[in-house]
Amino acid sequence: MKLLRRYLPTVLWLLALLACAVVIARTTFVANLSAFMPQAPSERQQMLMDQFKDGIIARLILVGIEGGDATERARLSKELSAALRQKPDFVGVQNGSTADLALDRAHVFDNRYLLSPAVDAQRYTEDGLRRAIGSTVEDLSGSAGMLLKQLLPRDPTGEIRELLAQFEGSSQPPSTEGVWSTRDGSRALLLLQTRAEGSDIDAQARTLERVRQAFAAIPNRHADTRLQMTGTSVFSVSSRALIEGEVHRLAAASLVLVVGLLLLVYRSPVLLGLSLLPMLTGTLAGITAVSLGFGQVHGITLGFGTTMIGEAVDYAIYLFVQRPGPGTARLFWRTLWLGLLTSVAGFLALLGSGFPGLTQLGVYSTVGLVAAVLVTRFVLPNLTPAHVPVPDLPRTGAFLQTLMRAAPRLRWLLLLLTTGMLLVTVLHADRLWNRSISALNPVSRADQQLHEELSRDLGASDLRYLAVLTATDQEQALQQAERAGTVLQALSRDGAIAGYSSPAQVLPSLASQQARQAALPEPAALRQRLQAALVGSPLRPERLQGFLNDVELSRTRAPLTRQDLNGSASALLYDSLLIPRERDLLLLMPLRPHRANGAEQDIDIERVDAALKAGGLANITVIDLLAETNALFDSYLREALVFSGLGCLAILALLLLTLRSLTRALRVALPLVCAVVCVTGALVLGGTSLTILHLVGLLLVVAIGSNYALFFDSTNAAASAQEQRQTTISLVTANLTIVGSFGMLALSSVPVLAILGTTVGLGTVLALVFSAVLARPQTGMDMPAPVKSAP
């Protein structure tokens, strides 16, 4: 019975480990970009975010070909697109070649009488024809007249002109040697649309490999020509590989570092093995909790989780190095529990975050730390063999002690430093925070820049302004798009917007097509009206036989469907703007702003919205995505400030409650405040503007650093010289493991990991040093006299 009681915790622990193992074996690990994309608070924003994750944008690959000369690049562009068109992986391949454009031109020209919004019954009366043809003839007098005249015999009413007016403000990419290129002509450009969903990263990875293979297989390729690819799917694939690689590397490096350090301190493989138990348990418990709570575990969470190695191993270090005897055990465990509570208070604050990655980190760390402490408290003492000696490093210990005793002399310096850093922070208050969402993007700066360059040149870049609505079916969606289009066309004439895109521009609704067909007169009637309309005009009816034929063809043909667009750029436009969803269709109509000096000008979305509402489109929403994301980001920053503030308050309240003394609580809290101020100041001086992750890092500094301050406080309360020395050694070791594991994160090439690593690594070192500096002067027996008399 007694035996059972003694080993009950160990048995329970083993059972728990087994349960964790079972859960983890069934866990899905993901590594896409979404963890640090905030969850949008409104359904509307969420819908858009989803669209970006899975919709057409996530399925576009922008390809650049560099090196060689313009002719060679154009040849490669043509060969590559020809090769890729053969493959089933791509829905669309565009490189701006004449053949490409010819398809779209033919679509627009052949179907002009079904596509043109100007076609109505009025236009094909005698009067309407006279006006339309008169206007076309007048256009011939302009500087482009001699180019336009080719259209005259078949398009005397100028429907092509009406159609082109709809595309105003959209720019084709520049063209060099007959294919799309960057503005300076140094890169050939292609646009690919993959068949695979953007979220299917495995399929995207295979698709990207196909492109590389196709490029490599082009015969007689110049050796210095290179393929570049960018786009959401490219980012997803590369950052997954990056995150996966980093997580393994970081975990291995942290483990090696911690094991090495512990061996150095313990000089006992048994103690080392035991020390790793809380950490391993914590890690497993953390992953299990996240898996159960979120249904999946993000790679970045695991990346952050490597810091668990540094934090969870601390408890064992405190236990083995301080080795509390019967007299001090109560105080020791109290301090340890308190330390755990303050840490957990910090991590719990993360649960309020809108970023799935941070929430996962909060759960992971909270559960992991609690598990680690439970194992340290209830399992380790039973497993520790009685004869293992207390790790003792007399010389190192004595050296550290001297340093610690000398530390309080630096108080004034610390005060000065903190004041200075506070001043720096206040002076930079206006640009303290980085408000751009891209600061958290796991994609490297260079890749982001390439993406911006390519998408700017392809004119595919700025989906900033959108008019959005939903419809029950395709016909309804297209009809709504046409009604909105009428309003937007008027706004474009007034100069409020430069133009807009709509799926109805390439495929009008069935109703409109039928109405236009009905508006076209029968051949005899048309011939008669035309003759009457052309009296007095320099144009003769008998030269317009092509026009009569074309009208009759359009009048009697079957209406256009999506199938008629296959293979053209119009199909790409249509599919990207009209998106089928589970229950309805989402219709996106991008609005194009005017440009001045190469910069886009703002669109007054209130005005556009009001005009659309006045036009009878009640359910349409006009969105400025940039403003939305900025507002979203600001709200997250505010939220983060609130939850870190609450976390800090909770920690302070805990200290007050357990230490039962304001002075002692402040003594514990002051070094942490100084550490936070100094880290912030250092970051600002280094030219970094702070993101949410820095804030989280600072919160962790407080959560972790509070442990040091607490142990300093508790040693001061009791403490023989031997105990003080052991405490010092344990604190320094614990600090080194944390700094080591966060330092590893700081070396990561994933920005979010690096930010956290730098902030916490630096902050915890400072927290330890400052705790020593601000600790009450020790009253141990071998206290050297000079300290007190020091100036």
Partner 1 sequence: MRPADLCLRRGLLVLLGTVLLAGTSLSRAAEWQLGELMQLLAQTKSGQARFVERKYIAMLDKPVESSGELSFSAPDRMEMRTLKPKKQAMLLDGNRLTLEQDGRQKTVSLQSYPEVAAFVEGIRGTLAGDRQALEKVYKVHLIGTPARWQLMLVPREPSMSRIISGIRIGGSQGEVLSVAYDHADGDRSEMQIVPVARP
- Residues within the interface to partner 1 (CB under 8 A): 137-147, 149, 152-153, 168, 172, 174-176, 495, 538-540, 543
Closer to partner 1 by Cβ: residue 541 or 671: 541
Encoded tokens for 228 = 């570049």
Q: What is the DSSP string of 489-532?
A: HHHHHHTS-SEE--GGGTS--HHHHHHHHHHSPPHHHHHHHHHH
Whether residue 504 contacts residue 531, with contact meaning beta carbons closer than 8 Å, is answered with no
Q: For residues 257 and 457, what is the distance between their CA atoms, to the nearest angstrom?
A: 47
Quote the least distance from Cβ 481 to partner 1, whole Å: 22
Which residue's CB is nearer to partner 1, number 176 or number 455? 176
- Identify the helix (H) or strand (E) that includes residue 638: helix 625-659
Closest CA relative to residue 307, chosen from 779, 743, 3: 743
Shortest separation between residue 537's beta carbon and partner 1, angstroms: 8
* Long-range interactions of 614-621: CB distance < 8 A, separation 24+: 614/487, 615/483, 615/484, 615/486, 615/487, 616/483, 617/469, 617/480, 617/483, 617/484, 617/487, 619/469, 619/470, 620/467, 620/468, 620/469, 620/480, 620/484, 621/44, 621/467, 621/468, 621/469
328-361 b/e (C-beta count within 10 Å ≥ 16 → b): beeebbebbebbbbbbbbbbbbbebbbbbbbbbb
Long-range contacts at 262-266 (CB < 8 A, ≥ 24 apart): 262/313, 262/317, 262/733, 262/737, 265/317, 265/321, 265/391, 265/393, 265/729, 265/733, 266/320, 266/391
User: For residues 506 and 107, what is the distance between their CA atoms, to the nearest angstrom?
Assistant: 9
Instruction: Answer yes or no: are the C-beta atoms of 456 and 187 closer than 8 Å.
Output: no
Q: What single-letter DSSP state applies at residue 120? A: S
CA dihedral 399, 400, 404, 407 (to 10 degrees): 70
Task: For the CB of residue 116, give the shortest distance to partner 1 in the complex, in Å.
Answer: 17
C-alpha triplet 241, 245, 248: angle, nearest 5°: 145
Burial of 54 (0-12, 13-18, 19+ CB in 10 A): middle
Q: How far is Cα 256 from Cα 95, in angstroms, rounded to an integer?
A: 50
Closer residue to partner 1 in complex, CB, 174/780: 174
Residue with tokens 């598990």: 371
**Cα–Cα distance for residue pair 366/129, rounded to 1 Å:** 77
Distance between CA atoms of 546 and 673, rounded to whole angstroms? 83
Q: What letters, b where the CB count within 10 A reaches 16 and e where it falls short, cover 185-222?
A: eebbbbbbbbebebbbbebbbebbebbeebbeebeebe
Q: Strand, coil or helix: what is 580? A: strand
Q: What is the DSSP letter of 432?
A: S
Give the 3-state DSSP-derived string for 354-408, with helices as H, strands as E and coil as C: CCHHHHHHHHHHHHHHHHHHHHHHHHHHHHCCCCCCCCCCHHHHHHHHHHHHHHH
User: Residue 147 CB, nearest distance to partner 1 (Å)?
Assistant: 7
Kindly report the three-state secondary structure assignment for every residue of 444-468. CHHHHHHHHHHHHHCCCCCCCEEEE
The Cα–Cα gap between 481 and 510 comes to 12
Rounded Cα–Cα distance for residues 755 and 744 (Å): 11
Least Å from the CB of residue 165 to partner 1: 9
Q: Which residue, 85 or 543, is less far from partner 1 as judged by CB?
A: 543
We find the least distance from the C-beta atom of residue 150 to partner 1, in angstroms, to be: 9
Compute φ and ψ for 494, nearest 5 degrees.
-75, -10
Closest CA to 775 of 719, 737, 696, 698: 719
Kind of pairing between the strands at 29-30 and 297-298? parallel
For the chain, the straight-line distance linking the first and the last C-alpha, in angstroms and rounded, comes to 62
Q: Which is nearer to partner 1, 145 or 616 (CB)?
A: 145
Whether residue 34 contacts residue 356, with contact meaning beta carbons closer than 8 Å, is answered with yes
Give the orientation angle of helix 510-519 with respect to helix 545-556, to 10 degrees. 140
For the CB of residue 546, give the shortest distance to partner 1 in the complex, in Å. 11
Q: How far is the CB of 138 from partner 1 (least distance, A)?
A: 5
Q: Are 321 and 271 in contact (CB under 8 A)?
A: no
Query: Contact at 8 Å (CB) between 618 and 327?
Result: no
C-beta of 189 vs 348, nearer to partner 1? 189
